[in-house]
Amino acid sequence: MALERLKRFAQGFLPTPAEAAAIRWRTPAVVDRGRIGEARVALDRHGRGVLLWENAGKLWTMPMGPGASPALMRLPFGEGTTPRLAVNPEGRGLAIWLADGEDERQILGAVLGPGEGPGRGMFRTVGRIHQLQVAVDRRGNALVAWVHERVGQIEVMAHAFNTRGEAWDEEPVLLGLPGDPSASPQLAANRREHAMVVWEAQNSVFEGLMACHYWPADRIWSDRPVPVVAHAARHHQVAMDDSGNALALWVHAPYGQRSLLEASFYEALHGEWSEPVVLASAHVMSSPRLVMNGDGEALAAWSQRENAGVSRLLVKAFKGRAWEPGAECLDHGHEPVQDYAIDLAEDGRAGFVVVQRGAAGDQVSVRIREDGWSLPRTMGSAPGSVCAAPRIALSPQGASLIWIQGEGEGRSLVLTDSH
């Protein structure tokens, strides 16, 4: 009996494959209504975390996890838009967001947890800010990246937060000048403080993806970007494992030719990107997603379509520093896909949520992968209306799923989590 109890404790709250999509989800609940903006959810390894969202220019937060989610305890977080959230497996986290003043815009940040204070300003500008992102390491140190657009110049910028003294660096760092506001920098970081930012560059000298690396020992960024691939690469994604190895994923669409989904592997030991490999080819390729855990396991997902055919969502696994053969189709039926999200937990469990449009309205469904992908389970629907912005967060002992339902001032933020 004692051995069985020990086994159950070691397994935590993980469901068996047959249960994964069948019985572990709570009934979806509406968290908030109104002019719902962007929302983010993040969990630690114990399934505890936080939900952060915007409603009509004000930010709200809610604790997640055992004993917290059913209460739906909304707490005001301040004024702002574009919330971003990062929580590490140990439960340390940081929230950042944008706030408008009379003649400027600024980025604010706040450490999450008991006794959290008001947001501190970390960057001010009269220009515009795009592609705001944040990542935290095991100590709770954070990196923030964004595109700064001002008259005559586009900049990729980064800023660091140090838990020692709970202070931001004096000034943000300029990583590069991509020349295009759609440069879309992607921030990847691991628990051991390594990080990189990858963005699209297009000028008279170079077209492709550039990467800038962060050196944690010196808390500095590399003095010049290095090329990842030297041809047009759109909709790129990047992710990193705990050894500092990384994957980049993008769409290469040569004029008049089939679109290609390509990937490259960065080996931290040698500091080099591999030659690109083609993962898939189709008439139309779009919406790539990439997730990676600390052990170096990864999942790539994307949408592809042949001519006037139906778009399909596919997923391909990366393990042992190599892509596994074949890809699996994860959507179901022939309803058009509106949006989707994926996540990958530390223990290798994966989750996939998709919004599909039917004749009676949008529908949200989820699949969980353990030994294999479960059958899709319908989590919610919007008869005669729409669903949008699905997000899923997984940990070894929990899972949370959110989406936005409805339109205009009648939107609802919907939450469900496992138990």
pLDDT tens for the chain, 419 residues long, are 333 332 332 333 334 444 444 447 889 999 999 999 999 999 999 999 899 999 999 999 998 876 554 456 788 888 999 999 999 999 999 999 999 888 899 999 999 865 555 678 899 999 999 999 999 999 999 999 999 998 878 999 999 998 887 789 989 999 998 877 778 899 999 998 899 999 998 877 788 999 999 988 888 999 889 999 999 999 999 999 999 999 999 999 988 899 999 999 999 999 999 999 999 999 999 999 999 999 999 999 999 988 877 889 999 999 999 999 999 999 766 688 899 999 999 999 999 999 998 888 999 999 999 889 999 999 999 999 999 999 999 999 889 999 999 999 999 999 998 87
Q: Are residues 22 and 123 part of one domain?
A: no
Give 362's contacts (C-beta < 8 A, 6+ positions apart): 338, 355, 356, 381, 382, 385, 386, 387, 388, 405
Q: CB of 389 within 8 A of CB of 404?
A: yes
Hey, which residues does 159 pair with through a beta bridge? 144
> Could you give the CA distance from residue 367 to residue 329 in angstroms, rounded to a whole number?
12
Two structure tokens written together for 235: 């909709």
Separation of CA 196 from chain center: 15
Return the residue matching tokens 């949520």. Answer: 353
> pTM for this one?
0.89
Residues 45 and 71 occupy one common structural domain: no
- Do 233 and 356 lie in one domain? The reply is no
Residues 66 and 195 in one domain: yes
Tell me, yes or no, whether 15 and 77 share the same domain: no
Q: Report how far residue 369's alpha carbon sits from residue 377's, in angstroms, rounded to the nearest whole number.
A: 13
Choosing from 342, 369, 391, the residue where a domain stops is: 342
Distance of CA 393 to the CA centre of its chain: 9
Cβ atoms of residues 211 and 198 within 8 Å: yes
Among 407, 363, 394, smallest CA distance to 35 is for 407
Q: Of 309, 342, 375, which residue constitutes the final position of a domain?
A: 342
* Residue 355 and residue 266 in one domain: no
Final residue in a domain of this structure, among 324, 342, 360: 342
- Per-position DSSP letters for 122-188, written without gaps between them: EEEESSEEEEEEEEE-TT--EEEEEEEEETTEEEEEEEEEETTTTEE-SS-EEEE--SSTT---EEE
Rounded to an integer, what distance in angstroms lies between the CA atom of residue 20 and that of residue 36?
Answer: 30
162 and 190 share one domain: yes
Q: Which residues pair with 128 in a beta bridge?
A: 149
CA-to-CA distance for 250 and 237, rounded, in angstroms? 6
